[in-house]
Structures are given as structure tokens and as C-alpha cells.
């Protein structure tokens, strides 16, 4: 999904192969876990508002469901590919395993650009997606959720279509639903807050007060907005944030040496995470090119947009001041760049650990839905914090004990848990 030729699925497989070798995983389990178990590729004809019909390509890929129903979001993106969805479905398996929730991994997508579609067209696309997979997904088999450029509104249209097809009410079919319609309080904030819970723990472990730190974010969608909010609340100073400009069709970076006001930026950002450049200028912020977020002299980098953003071509432009990288996005670092980060001794909080807050809260949504009793926001966030903190320390301890890079330590835990489930079920 970038100008480079990196393939996220090849990256995901090479991360897996490396750790499968370290832990001496048997051949059959390796074969089973290095690719998705099931894939659905389909076409979705959608009637557009002008009366024409457009045909979109859709996907749902279930990587593994040994630990529970497949779980993972649906992305709407013009550069979506089958391999991207494959990689993301695989990372969902490891993500659910690392936070130890009883779910497997899946992912969905549609090649489309919702920024250029009306609301009614998006609704028809959502309903069309469900019509194609209604018999292959469901509360007990595969539970979708929001992801890049999808939100609670899309989830509810999808739920409504699923319920119309199956005749009944099935709130467990999908998570990320709006609050009051089966959604959980805190779900919107969950991924971003989770990112910062893990960062907070890393800083404590390293003895660095968060109030002494500065940060730069890539992306200003759901993840960065709430990560930025909590990071600021805890005393951190955000120097730079990059985002996509849908008018110029390229990204730019907003910067302020004195720190950006996240609340103000949120108020001038559209639903797809694009900040208004003019309004940012009016706030007195500098406007720099799209790559500037990466080269800032800050302590913490938070790539929280898309995959393949830190590559061998730009990894060496990361400032010497950077001590920690927290991957808010899925797969933002390519394996070759990862080697450089490791050599430089930068502490990495890997993607599927850092951004597991979203799916953890989705699991809480399922629990609340099943009991038909909904918790206060404070209770949700407290439980989320506990899960993320425990997962961080399990990975950190494994890394310390076996002298492993944090990404490899996370893989050791996740692969072992999934391999054990596969064996206990008697599949291998």
C-alpha cells in the first residue's frame, strides 16, 4: 500500500518464519499457521446515486480460529489488496493471542474510496458486502469490526443486513457498534488509549518520566487522535503529526515546537483523519511535507497510519534522539528496516501488541452484549488498561529473559498459544 514494492503478506510470513525457527515449531503447524485457513473473494455491485452501477472487489479472510471465532476489522481503501488482507488477518490471530482473549484472526476489505462516495452509496456497499458473506461469518464463526475508513455507522448497516438475511437479532455478529445500539463505551478511544497504556509501561520500565518526553505521530485517524489525547493528558508533548490531504492527494505534516493542541486539531479534522491545512495554519502551526513526521528530533515515534511506512529507504533518517517506536498501525515497519531499528537499540512496541486495545474492547463488547448489561466507561477503560498492561509485561519479560527483540518476544508468546490450541483441538 505504498510506493515501495514491499508485500505485507510476505513481511508477515517472514516475521512468523523467523520465530517458528527460534521456537522449533513442527512442520505441520508451521504450514497451517503461515497462511490463512479460508478466504472469500467476491464482487459487490453497488447502485450509485447517479443511477450507474459500480462493481467493487471485496474480501473476507479467516487466518485461524483455533482459539475462538475469527475476529478483525473491515477496511475500505483504494489500494486494498488480497495480500494486505491476508497479512492483516494473520496479525489479528497473533493480536488476540498476545492479549489472551478467546478469539482467532480474520480481516476484511473492499477496494474503494469512501471519501469519494455519498453516505447512501456507502450504505449500499456495506449491505452488499454482507450479502456476499452472510453465510460464512457470524457470532460463532467470524466477527467483523471497524478499521481504516470504517466506523460504527458502517457496522450498524452491516448488522442490519445480516439480521434481515438471517431473520432475528444477532448483536454478536459485529463489534464497534454505536453506543446505545449494542456498542461499548470506550470502544472509540480503545485502540489509541491502548497504544499509550503500553507506552506508559515501557517508559516506566526504562525509568523515563512521560512528562519529559516528546512525540511525533504518523496519521491522525482514530488511533492517533485518542493516543494523542491520552499522551497529552499524561504530560507528553506532541511535536508533529502527519495526515492525508484528500485535495492534494498527498500527505503533509503539522508541526509545533511548543507542542500541538490535540483537542483543537481534532476539531478541525474530518471523519477520515484529514486535518484542515488552512485551519492548522491559522492555529500558528508549521506545515511541512508528508515525510517530516519521521525525521523529527523527538523521543517517541508513533507510526499509526498504514503498513510499510518505515522501510530500508527511510529508516536511517530517524533522529538519534528517538528511543521508542510504538506501532499504532498494523505492519508499519518492513523486516529490513526492523533489523536497523534492532541494531540501533531503539525500543519497539510491536503493532499487534501496541494496537490490541481495539479488539480487546471488541471482546468486552461481546461480553456485555451476551449479558445484555453494559458497563460504565470507567469500568471498560480500567479493564482495558489491565489487559494491555499485563500483555505488555508478558512480552517485556519474555524479551528480557531470552534477550529477544520485542517483536520476536511477542511472536514467541502468540505462536505458542495458537499452536497449543491447534494441538489441543487435535488438528495437528
| Complex with ligand GLU: residue 304 or 311, whichever CB lies closer | 304
Find the binding residues for ligand GLU in span 154-193 (CB under 6 A).
Answer: 175-176
Is 377 noted as a catalytic residue in this protein? Answer: no
Please give the residue whose beta carbon sits closest to ligand GLU in the complex: 73
| Residue 289: strand pairing partners | 252
Q: Per-residue x/- mask for ligand GLU, residues 246 to 275, rule CB under 6 A?
A: ------------------------------
Q: CB under 8 Å to 278, separation ≥6 — which residues?
A: none
Q: Does 73 bind ligand GLU (CB under 6 A)?
A: yes
Q: How far apart, in whole angstroms, are the C-alpha atoms of residue 28 and residue 290?
A: 44
Minimum CB separation of residue 330 from ligand GLU in Å reads 6
Q: Per-residue x/- mask for ligand GLU, residues 307 to 336, rule CB under 6 A?
A: -----------------------x------
| Complex with ligand GLU: residue 216 or 355, whichever CB lies closer | 355
Q: Which stretch binds ligand GLU (CB under 6 A): 7-15, 67-75, 267-275, 387-395?
A: 67-75
Q: Does 72 bind ligand GLU (CB under 6 A)?
A: yes
Minimum CB separation of residue 355 from ligand GLU in Å reads 6
| Complex with ligand GLU: residue 71 or 127, whichever CB lies closer | 71
| Complex with ligand GLU: residue 92 or 239, whichever CB lies closer | 92
Cα atoms found within 13 Å of the Cα of residue 197, Cβ hemisphere only:
26
Q: Among 109, 219, 331, 358, which residue sits at the site for ligand GLU (rule: CB under 6 A)?
A: 358
Q: How far apart, in whole angstroms, are the C-alpha atoms of residue 139 and residue 132?
A: 16
Q: Which stretch binds ligand GLU (CB under 6 A): 1-9, 110-118, 234-242, 351-359?
A: 351-359
| Complex with ligand GLU: residue 128 or 183, whichever CB lies closer | 183
For the record, the C-alpha cell of 166 comes out as 438471517
Minimum CB separation of residue 186 from ligand GLU in Å reads 12
CB–CB of 413/98 below 8 Å?
Answer: yes
Q: Does 362 bind ligand GLU (CB under 6 A)?
A: yes
Catalytic residue among 71, 107, 237, 387: 107
Q: How far apart, in whole angstroms, are the C-alpha atoms of residue 15 and residue 46?
A: 38
| Complex with ligand GLU: residue 256 or 389, whichever CB lies closer | 389
Q: How far apart, in whole angstroms, are the C-alpha atoms of residue 76 and residue 168?
A: 27
For the record, the C-alpha cell of 101 comes out as 482473549
Q: Which stretch binds ligand GLU (CB under 6 A): 163-171, 270-278, 353-361, 401-409?
A: 353-361
Q: Does 359 bind ligand GLU (CB under 6 A)?
A: yes
| Complex with ligand GLU: residue 71 or 387, whichever CB lies closer | 71
Q: Give ∠ CA 120-246-152 in degrees, rounded to 5.
A: 40
Q: Which of 74, 89, 218 is nearest to 148 (CA)?
A: 74
Q: How far apart, in whole angstroms, are the C-alpha atoms of residue 366 and residue 280?
A: 39
* 48 CB-contact burial (10 Å; exposed 0-12 / middle 13-18 / buried 19+): middle
Find the binding residues for ligand GLU in span 79-118 (CB under 6 A).
Answer: 95
DSSP 8-class letter at 425: T
Q: Among 61, 98, 145, 399, which residue sits at the site for ligand GLU (rule: CB under 6 A)?
A: 145
CB–CB of 280/268 below 8 Å?
Answer: yes
Alpha helices (H) in 217-295, listed in sequence order? 222-233, 262-267, 277-282
How far apart are the two ends of the chain, measured CA to CA in Å?
A: 35
Q: Over the Cα atoms of the chain, what is R_g?
A: 20
For the record, the C-alpha cell of 41 comes out as 473473494
Interface contacts to ligand GLU, rule CB under 6 A: 71-73, 95, 145, 147, 175-176, 330, 355, 358-359, 362
Active site residues per annotation: 107
Amino acid at each position: 500500500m505504498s510506493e515501495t514494492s514491499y508485500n505485507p503478506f510476505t513481511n508477515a510470513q517472514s516475521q512468523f518464519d523467523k520465530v517458528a525457527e527460534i521456537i522449533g515449531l513442527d512442520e505441520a503447524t508451521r504450514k497451517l499457521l503461515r497462511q490463512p485457513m479460508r478466504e472469500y473473494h467476491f464482487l459487490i455491485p453497488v447502485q450509485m446515486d447517479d443511477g450507474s452501477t459500480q462493481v467493487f472487489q471485496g474480501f473476507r479472510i479467516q487466518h485461524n480460529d483455533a482459539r475462538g471465532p475469527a475476529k478483525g476489522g473491515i477496511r475500505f481503501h483504494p489500494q486494498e489488496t488480497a495480500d494486505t488482507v491476508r497479512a492483516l488477518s494473520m496479525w489479528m490471530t497473533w493480536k488476540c493471542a498476545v492479549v489472551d482473549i478467546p478469539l482467532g484472526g480474520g480481516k476484511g476489505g473492499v477496494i474503494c474510496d469512501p471519501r469519494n462516495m455519498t453516505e447512501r452509496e456507502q450504505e449500499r456497499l456495506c449491505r452488499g458486502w454482507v450479502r456476499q458473506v452472510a453465510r460464512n461469518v457470524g457470532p460463532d464463526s467470524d466477527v467483523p469490526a471497524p478499521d481504516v475508513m470504517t466506523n460504527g455507522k458502517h457496522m450498524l448497516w452491516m448488522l442490519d443486513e445480516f439480521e434481515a438475511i438471517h431473520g432475528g437479532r444477532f448483536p454478536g455478529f459485529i463489534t464497534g457498534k454505536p453506543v446505545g445500539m449494542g456498542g461499548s463505551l470506550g470502544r472509540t478511544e480503545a485502540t489509541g488509549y491502548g497504544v499509550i497504556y503500553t507506552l506508559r509501561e515501557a517508559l516506566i520500565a526504562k525509568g523515563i518520566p512521560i512528562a519529559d518526553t516528546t512525540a511525533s505521530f504518523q496519521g491522525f485517524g482514530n488511533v492517533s487522535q485518542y493516543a494523542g489525547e491520552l499522551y497529552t493528558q499524561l504530560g507528553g508533548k506532541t511535536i508533529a503529526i502527519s495526515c492525508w490531504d484528500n485535495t492534494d492527494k498527498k500527505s503533509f505534516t503539522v508541526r509545533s515546537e511548543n507542542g500541538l493542541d490535540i483537542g483543537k486539531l481534532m476539531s478541525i479534522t474530518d471523519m477520515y483523519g484529514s486535518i484542515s491545512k488552512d485551519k492548522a495554519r491559522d492555529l500558528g502551526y508549521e506545515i511541512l511535507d508528508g515525510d517530516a513526521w519521521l525525521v523529527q528530533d523527538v523521543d517517541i515515534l508513533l507510526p499509526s497510519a498504514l503498513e510499510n511506512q518505515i522501510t530500508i529507504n527511510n529508516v536511517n533518517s530517524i533522529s538519534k534522539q528517538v528511543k521508542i517506536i510504538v506501532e499504532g498501525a498494523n505492519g508499519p515497519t518492513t523486516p529490513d528496516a526492523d533489523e536497523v531499528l534492532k541494531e540501533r537499540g531503539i525500543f519497539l512496541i510491536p503493532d499487534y501488541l501496541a494496537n490490541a486495545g481495539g479488539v480487546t474492547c471488541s471482546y468486552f463488547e461481546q461480553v456485555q452484549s451476551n449479558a445484555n448489561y453494559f458497563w460504565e466507561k470507567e469500568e471498560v477503560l480500567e479493564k482495558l488498561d489491565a489487559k494491555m498492561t499485563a500483555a505488555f509485561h508478558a512480552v517485556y519479560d519474555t524479551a528480557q529473559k531470552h534477550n529477544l527483540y520485542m517483536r520476536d518476544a511477542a511472536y514467541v508468546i502468540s505462536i505458542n498459544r495458537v499452536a497449543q490450541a491447534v494441538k489441543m483441538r487435535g488438528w495437528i
